[in-house]
Amino acid sequence: MLYFQADVDKAVKAARDAFRWGSPWRRMDASHRGLLINRLADAIERNAAYLAELETLDNGKPYAISYTVDLPTVVKCFRYYAGWADKWEGKTIPIDGDYFCYTRHEPIGVCGQIIPWNFPLLMLAWKIAPALATGNTVVMKVAEQTPLTALYVASLIKEVGFPEGVVNILQGMGPSAGAAIARHMDVDKLAFTGSTEVGHLIQQASGTSNLKKVTLELGGKSPNIILSDANMEDAVEQAHFGLFFNQGQCCCAGSRTFVQADIYDEFVERSVERARKRVVGNPFDLKTEQGPQVDQEQFNKILGYISSGKREGAKLMCGGGVAADRGYFIQPTVFGDVQDNMTIAREEIFGPVMQIMKFKTMEEVVTRANDTKYGLAAAVFTKDIDKASYVSNGLRAGTVWVNCYDVFASQAPFGGYKASGNGRELGEYGLDNYTEVKTVIASVFGFISGAEKRTQSLLE
């Protein structure tokens, strides 16, 4: 424990020194900060194939996904925030009296960041990019399961010319290194992505230390609502993608699939057919759609939820077992006849396990969809724009997809309602979490003119 505390103390001191008033980082023009972030994006893009290999080795996701989805998205995120570096403006405010009033957005300071193992490189980008664009310094702890890509990016950060101490990347376990960052008295802000349970601990650590600002992106149990007028083929494919993508290890996975009664049987049949066709295997085989789960702990946890579903009376339609004689491969699994009170319908599984539930009316499904402690994401499939509007407006979720799933953009904010977190990442909103707003009020009679200054200088 003392070892991790010493490492964290050293990293925080380096970040604090880099943030001190008058340091190269603080003196740097905002446009030059943007230039450095763009250079980092270029370096990541040049090394994309190698980084994708590391990501697949670390996480188990298919290399085709690492290279064609994760890496381009990472590059776009850095480039998006590079563009913001010199465009974050304050305001002038008219107030009573002879005063000039304006606001400034200033960096918070030393930002602790703790990222998960399901999208290691992408989560690094989501957190580091806005922090750097707004002039902060960073102490990041990577997930103990997946450190490789972050450590390689650390070498690229040094290579492209960021001043020493601006970005500090640590390995370590959550209960030791992560906890040390969360309760550190010289960390000004903490951003965490992970489980809701750990999110509670992060908030508590803030309250018992220095009341550091906290941004949390936590768990989910996202409803995916299929209305009877939906395009069946698209709905089946998107629901499959929304659940099974990344081995089901997504905080926003559509893990409660609500299907209107009129089309329920057909949807279940087609979903089972699609799941049985899903290619599970070596993640470096370009035909593979699903690799192994990240580690044995996650593997065992998912199998435990599958056993729970069978024990509580859900109908196992396909899968439900191990997909290979070695490794952490799980068969794509579909449960039908799932009831709202079942464990698999209430708790986040974080694996390739689809739960399909029947409903009759839109009013009913909105109520049931909202009956959860989570509120990260949701989706609705329908050809009727009025129905889409009714459902999307009624859902208590930070993101609602309509006739699509898992569509992300650096420009669009992402975050949750309720126990799925607080604050937002991405977009202009993502910058808010890394700045303080300062109000400056000056008496207009308190200054001497430029001419008076020059005269005064000559007299001296």
Rounded to whole angstroms, the Cα distance separating 190 from 206 reads 8
Sheet with 99-107, side-by-side order of all strands = 92-93, 99-107, 435-443
For helices 71-84 and 120-133, what crossing angle results, to 10°?
10
Rounded to whole angstroms, the Cα distance separating 299 from 350 reads 10
End-to-end CA distance of the chain: 61
Contact 330, 349 (CB under 8 A): no
> 62: closest CA among 251, 334, 279, 254?
279
Backbone angles phi, psi at 191, to 5 degrees: -115, 130
Backbone angles phi, psi at 117, to 5 degrees: -95, -10
Residue appearing with tokens 């997809």: 401
> DSSP letter string over 331-360?
--EEEES--TTSHHHHS---SSEEEEEEES
Backbone angles phi, psi at 116, to 5 degrees: -90, 180
Residue appearing with tokens 């768990």: 219
Active-site option among 55, 217, 289, 425 = 217
Cα–Cα distances in angstroms (integers) from residue 333 to residues 79, 259, 317, 352, 356, in the given order: 38, 17, 7, 6, 11
Sheet with 315-318, side-by-side order of all strands = 315-318, 333-336, 353-359, 256-260, 223-226, 377-381, 399-402
> DSSP letter string over 276-340?
HH--BS-TTSTT-SB---SSHHHHHHHHHHHHHHHHTT-EEEE--SBSSSSSS-B--EEEES--T
Interior CA angle at 71 toward 65 and 72, to 5°?
105
Rounded to whole angstroms, the Cα distance separating 36 from 41 reads 9
DSSP assignment letter at 176: I
Whether 197 is a known active-site residue: answer no
Enumerate the active-site residues.
217
